[in-house]
Amino acid sequence: MLILLTNDDGIHSEKIEYTKKILENYGTVYRIAPKEQMSAKSMSLTIGGFEFEKIDDYNYAIDGTPVDCVNFAYAGLGLMPDLVVSGTNNGYNIGIDTRYSGTVAAALQAQYYGFKSLALSADRKGNLILEEDLNKTLKHIFEKDLLSMDYTLNVNFAREKFIHSKGIKYTDVYYQVFEYSPEIVRNKLLTNRRFVMGQHLPEDSDALAYKEGYTSISKIKV
């Protein structure tokens, strides 16, 4: 199996290196990721071209966005991957954050080209459970034949506070309500975003699964 691996945290992210090692058990992995941090870039792309660095035949650093990375793999290298994996992101991507996330956007760009894709996200301190959860989740996805060219799978692993995931739940993306209390400090705007407390979270929502310590799998379409 030919696997394209990208992310939005950058090619030197600890989690993409960790994810690459696990994916190499399933096939040949091309890691094509942003040179720098590119979180919250959504589906933005670079107009007029961008530079890249060839580290070796299977690793490229792109001076651009996560979507640029997928475009480079497809249009630049002519890769036709069996699976595109974006992540593992350093932090969860649930609810409205799926609209902002560069991690999710790269997977959606792959879907746009007709490739099967996954977006993976984990707690910012989630390395303790990442290996176990990723292996279990990949095995589940392959055994249940969940991959499709018609949607991307958005996977959020259980929070580290639960140590081990309680299991896998199929969920819907639920757009929680946020409160914003912006503050200007010198010449910088601090958005100070937080969840509105006391919201009812539907039983099938990604937010509730994450909150309760489950690994959530949601379908997202371009």
pLDDT tens by residue, 139-180: 999 999 999 999 999 999 987 777 778 899 999 998 876 677
CATH class of the domain at 2-174+202-220: alpha beta
Q: What residues are paired with 217 via a beta bridge?
A: 155, 170
- Cβ proximity of 36 and 65 under 8 Å: no
The pLDDT of residue 61 is above 80 = yes
Mean pLDDT of the chain: 90
What's the pTM value of the predicted model, to 2 decimals?
0.92
Q: How confident is the model at residue 1 (pLDDT cuts 50, 70, 90)?
A: very high
The pLDDT of residue 192 is above 90 = no
Q: What is the pLDDT of residues 77-132, one digit of tens each?
A: 999 999 999 989 998 899 889 999 999 999 999 999 999 999 999 986 656 667 88
With 0-12 CB in 10 A as exposed, 13-18 as middle and 19+ as buried, what is 197?
Answer: exposed
> Residue 195's pLDDT is what?
62
> Residue 130's pLDDT is what?
77
> Residue 158's pLDDT is what?
84
SS3 readout for 13-78: CHHHHHHHHHHCCCCEEEEEEECCCCCCCCCCCCCCCCCEEEEECCEEEECCCHHHHHHHHHHHCC
